Structures are given as structure tokens and as C-alpha cells.
Structure 1
Amino acid sequence: MTPLLIYPLAAMAEIAGCFAFWSHLRLGASRLWLIPGCFGLIVFAWLLTLVPTDVAGRAYAAYGGIYICVSVVWLWSVEGVRPDRWDVIGAAVTVLGAAIILFGPRSA
């Protein structure tokens, strides 16, 4: 799998896992929501280990930008809140930053 597939999948797993906890703790959903929440967070952590990089910090830094972008998509598609221009601009800037971190030339 490539980082272009891994990162969005990891973001969806993390957001879904955290949203399950949010649903229980903030929205009064059943404690049973914590089970898929834990599963989502485990899947998220596992997916990040598949990123082809020698150092975890670089994988996490690049992931942060993708996470923000996918969070804005979640905001719109799951929570029904249309992103405003600042959400879109901010997400675009972070994706650019993630691309620089992930694909920038490295010296040996």
C-alpha cells in the first residue's frame, strides 16, 4: 500500500474511533460505542506502521496534514456541516505541508 492510500484510511479509522468516544462521552450514546471506537484506534495505529519511512516522526508529521483534510470531509459527510472557505484553505495548506514532508528529497 502507498502512503496516498494508507494515510486517508488511517485518518478515517482514527476519526471514527474518536467519534465513537465522542458519541458516548458528549452525546450520551451507549458504552457499547467504545468497542468499535477501540477497534478503530487499533486499526489507525496499525495502518501508520505500514508507511514506508525509516522514522516514525516523519510518518506522523505527514499524517497530520492528511488527518486535517479528512476531518474536514468528515465534518461535511458525517456531521452535516458544510466546510467554509477557511476550513478548505486550512486543509489545503496542511496537505501541501504533508506532501513536502513525505515526498521532499532527502540527502543520504
Structure 2
Amino acid sequence: MEVVRSLILFALAGLAEIGGGWLVWQWLRNNWGVWIGVAGGVVLFFYGVIPTLQQEPAFGRVYAAYGGVFIVLSIGWGWLVDGWVPDRYDLAGGAIALAGVFVIMWGRNWF
């Protein structure tokens, strides 16, 4: 259950970071208006809060593992939202990053 909870928190943090960053990008690069940028800033605030809900006490471990989740979610966001199609190297890199998440967070419990 701890693994599922952690993965959900990582996914929520990733969606907040990517979604908030995307809104700021739209504001600054595509002139979507200042309120879109403000909304992006609010969403990014939640990205900073969500990882603190992880059970793991080590900041570095949580953020290192989160980095792998961020890679996978960024590939998915680009594919689903921006219409960018990842190639096999993007997908392989995402799979390797996700394997790293499991080793960092739970490897000491399994090996």
C-alpha cells in the first residue's frame, strides 16, 4: 500500500509541476494573459507541498525518485497535450527512469 500511495503522490506532484509550468509557458511564450501565469504559480506552489506528504523522511531520496516520475510524466504530457510523439529512445529512457524510481525508493526493502 505504501508503494501505491507514494506513486499517487509522485503523480500528483508531477501533474502540478508540469501543469503549472505549462501554464506559465503559455502565459510567457504564447501571450495567454497574466492570470494564466498566476494560476500556473499557484499550481506550482502545490507541487512544492505534495512531496512533503511522502512517508520517506529523506528529502534527497524523495526528490531523486520524483525526478524519474517527472521524466515519464513529461513524455506523457508532451504526447497527450502538445501532440509530440515520443520515439523508442524516449520511451526506453522513460522506462529506465521509472526503474530507477523503484530502486531508489524501495530497492532496500526488496533486495
Does the aligned pair in 1 maintain the 2:65–2:105 contact within 8 Å?
A: yes
Q: 2:47 aligns with which of 44, 48, 52?
A: 44
What CA distance in whole angstroms lies between the structure 1 residues aligned with 2:19 and 2:39?
A: 8
Where does structure 1 lack aligned partners over 5 or more consecutive residues? none
Does the aligned pair in 1 maintain the 2:54–2:62 contact within 8 Å?
A: yes
Q: How many residue pairs were aligned?
A: 106
Q: Which residue of 1 aligns with 2:56?
A: 53
Q: Does 1:70 align with 2:68?
A: no
Q: Which residue of 1 aligns with 2:30?
A: 27
Give the fraction of aligned pairs with identical amino acids, expressed as a percent.
35
Q: Match of 1:69, SS? A: helix
TM-score, normalization by structure 1: 0.92
What CA distance in whole angstroms lies between the structure 2 residues aligned with 1:65 and 1:105?
A: 18
What CA distance in whole angstroms lies between the structure 2 residues aligned with 1:88 and 1:40?
A: 27
Aligned-residue Cα RMSD (Å) equals 1.3
Q: Match of 1:62, SS? A: helix
The offset of 1:4, in angstroms, is 1.1
Where does structure 2 lack aligned partners over 5 or more consecutive residues? none
